Structure 1
Amino acid sequence: MSQETYQAMITSTDSSPNKDSLPRASATAKTPIQILHEYGVKHGKIPAYVLEKAEGEAHQPSFVFSVTAGDVCGTGEGSSKKAAKHVAAEVALRMLQVDTTAMSFPVKPESNDAAPESNGTPNSVGTLQELSLQRGWRLPEYTMLLETGPPHRREFTVTCAMESLSETASGNSKKAAKKAAADKMVAKLQSLSGSSEITWTPKPRVRFENLQNSSAEKISLLRRNPLSIPNTDYIQLMTELAKEQNFDIAYLDIDELTANGQYQCLVELSTCPVTVCHGTGISRTNAHNAAAHSALQYIKIVASTK
């Protein structure tokens, strides 16, 4: 396909009314999606977009898209699918160090989250979002875990996940819980950095292709051996595999018990895409072990697929 034909298709598509439409570009300016596509065509790395998450109320939806271009994986969040794709494309372009001065508009954090608070201190939600865009990290992901209490006194519990890290906090509104989780994440990043200036750097994300092509000892044993032996310490197996394949593991306990009274937790692996698995048990340790078992089963399937 020629560049002229591609540009004509873009122009034709964008001219139609669409609820996801973004500000029109000038005749010479280009969107992040266009620039990334042109880069992909030139270098044989055609970008592929995947809808990772769609949540929120009908009047205030939130979408998360990931884009893969060669070995680079970028993630973006927005109030429409197109907006999320644009953010993902911009993140990927920054990771590829592609000149984006010709973009038609900057992709900025949403004003509600990035604005300073009334007391003049920066909003942690905006701080994390800006930090992610500046350094090419995945955008923070906020997940509603629990909603408890009577209607006049509700309490919300939200987790903030950023790269391999996660923090959980509660508040009397979804916004307050989200901010509290972001506050804890900023504090953790500062603690890991050893100062108020955040210098912490996440490990490079391990792509599924790396797992499929790896012939290392632990991943080879995982492919060959069954995961059904009683009393196996799957937490240890997962720890050894993560160390060998160089990805991080984070366990997140869920305060709410299951319907039959068991503990439950999530385990997140810093792969690309991110792997999240659920586990339950009669104790928190058993729940962690069950979650690690589920994650190992998933990695085994992925690593055995060519």
Structure 2
Amino acid sequence: MGEDEEAAAEVEAAPQEALPGAEARSSSPAAQKSLSMEEIPAAKPGKTPIQLLHEYSSKANLNPIYEFEKAEGEVHMPLFTFKVTVGDITATGEGPSKKVAKHRAAEAALTILKESSHICMSVPDPVIPEPSNQPPNQTNPIGSLQELAIQKGWRLPEYSLAKETGPPHQREFSIICRIEAHVETGMGTSKKLAKRNAAEKLLEKFHNFSGDCIINSLGNEQSHNLGCTWDTLRNSTGEKIALLKISPLSIPNTDYVQLLGEIADEQGFTATYLNIEELSVNGQFQCLVEISTNPITVCHGTGISWGNAYNVAAHNALQYLKIMAGRK
């Protein structure tokens, strides 16, 4: 649910109370614009400004109109502005999220209504939701990762849902974050938390790199694990790659995931497995394995379990490596 939808949900959740004298007011257009103290919604602690403003407006036969005006600031520290109009009253509010800005606009409108001499209205201190549960000085990893991509000239990070498990009341989500050749998976009890964890993992990976060894989208800089080209594989004297060149890759019960991992360690590249949420046409699990050679190679695998799908994907990747490493 988006921020605007959440704010709208609060209005729907606000209790709707019957008004004394509602029938008399409906028969007189003039009365619809003038409310007495008794007709103003009772002040209840814990209500948000949007709920309070909605209650007042509904009893005055008015409809608050919210308009998004602008967004300013840095990617990791945005500032949003919302405007609300209720009859002849117009007020604006700012905040670090659209939801908070909307609440503050409603709060400003309530203040104007409360201070207006021709309106009798008792308004308690409204509750404005906190923009997030994180400490004020803690950076947002999703925003920080996006900012890093912009600075480096990369494509923006891409997020995709890998899988969703658990009972309805206790779901666990797995989100894949990809930026250029780098991929990480984050887990969480919500998609937002899983996305955040994936971004944090990638940021931590980048911080562990030395200097400018992170590859950019133009390929002018290379990290150590992207220096493995087909030429280096063909000319390598490594024991594992030499065995791969002569292996039939057809021995039953072989752990191809382990074999691919050993070759990756020897040759300086990485192998990353990505779960595909949808089952194959014949009902099997699907996955991809991405090997960070230069150029990057991606192979597909299916199986009756995730482990089996990984092994098939690794086998396909090894077959491709064998072909490329053996070419003259």
Larger radius of gyration: 2
Which TM-score band (shorter chain)? 0.3 to 0.5
